[in-house]
Homo-oligomer: A and B are copies of this chain.
């Protein structure tokens, strides 16, 4: 609730700035942090992408700016409405909601962009305003969360309550971690692995809160992981497929993405990628597939990416390029259903 209150205050302050200008017969002007690639810099100290000092001016006296200016104020008022009513909205819903107001978004990518503008101006993620994408991932483990959504105010839910896990949805995102018996967070790429680790009780064995990333995870899932990491002090381990895409899932969790450079408090620099590393592929004789041209091009790109500057990561890239094969995290099933837990993860965790 405090979060909602401070988000409302931020939006109100933004509104007041605009109204004050109008009352003084001035055209309101907004400064929006510039998110173009030339203003995205990698901050070595925080080990993540941040925006540089460049700002874009949105000047309501400029006929070329006035439409986007109006769209931004509409998105801000929609967000405030959501917060007041304790409601959430998908990005899709926001787009359709705009149609009654004639603010003229051409399509959803257009309204998504203005939502990002609002994030940049307020330094708050859209989730603070109750605005979510559609994708969900899941969570399972011994954490007690205190919920705040209507009908569940103050309710404490242990995240082992359902044996299929719980979706990382709007209600969970606004809940507060209270306590945990767990010692670590274990994030896995696929739903199959997630189910496997629940039913083999691997979560108990490793004292782990399990998170199913579902590929490159939605930002809300990264926020939840960071929240659990920061509030409960649980270190994060990331277990993905052994290919450039899996490795990069881990990298975005540790060091952020260019798309989210305007949002603080998303990265977990100390999170650890436990594999599948190129060395694991060889050492465990995993079933593999040859890398495609797309995979190899991706390695080439990543090798020049500042986030991969450290020798450890350059090393992974080098090894992938040498072996030119890849393996999925499910590939351990070759050695029996429990092997991934009994052998691989037992080696990697601790």
Closest to A90 in B: B192
Complex Cα distance, B236 from A12, in Å, reads 44
**In whole Å, how far is A95's beta carbon from the nearest beta carbon of chain B?**
8
* Known interface pairs A151-B163, A164-B169, A171-B164; A136-B191 also in contact (CB < 8 Å): yes
Q: Which residues of B sit under 8 angstroms from A150, Cβ to Cβ?
A: 199, 201
A250-258, A308-316, A329-337: which lies at the interface:
A329-337
Tallying the copies of this chain within the complex gives 2
Closest to A192 in B: B90
Q: Which residues of B sit under 8 angstroms from A132, Cβ to Cβ?
A: 195
Contact with B along A323-344 (1 / 0, CB 8 A): 0000010111111110000000
The answer to whether A166 has its CB under 8 Å from any CB of chain B is yes
Complex Cα distance, B85 from A92, in Å, reads 43
The answer to whether A278 has its CB under 8 Å from any CB of chain B is no
Closest to A174 in B: B163
**In whole Å, how far is A114's beta carbon from the nearest beta carbon of chain B?**
16
Closest to A327 in B: B96
Which of B90, B92, B157 is the one whose CB lies under 8 Å from A161?
A: B157
| Most chain B Cβ neighbours within 10 Å, of A166, A190, A196, A335 | A166
Q: Which residues of B sit under 8 angstroms from A334, Cβ to Cβ?
A: 96-97, 99-100
Q: Which residues of B sit under 8 angstroms from A85, Cβ to Cβ?
A: 337
B152 A163 Cβ-Cβ under 8 A: yes
A171 B167 Cβ-Cβ under 8 A: no
Could you list which residues of chain A lie within 8 angstroms of chain B, going by C-beta atoms?
85-90, 92-97, 99-100, 132, 134-136, 138, 147, 149-152, 157, 161-172, 190-192, 195-196, 199-201, 287, 328, 330-337
| 24 A–B pairs (Cβ distance < 8 Å), ordered by A | A87-B200, A87-B337, A89-B192, A92-B328, A93-B333, A93-B337, A94-B333, A97-B334, A99-B287, A99-B331, A99-B333, A99-B334, A100-B334, A138-B167, A150-B199, A150-B201, A151-B201, A157-B162, A161-B161, A164-B167, A164-B169, A166-B166, A169-B195, A170-B195
Q: Which A-B residue pairs are the 6 nearest by beta carbons?
A: A164-B169, A90-B192, A163-B171, A96-B333, A97-B333, A99-B334
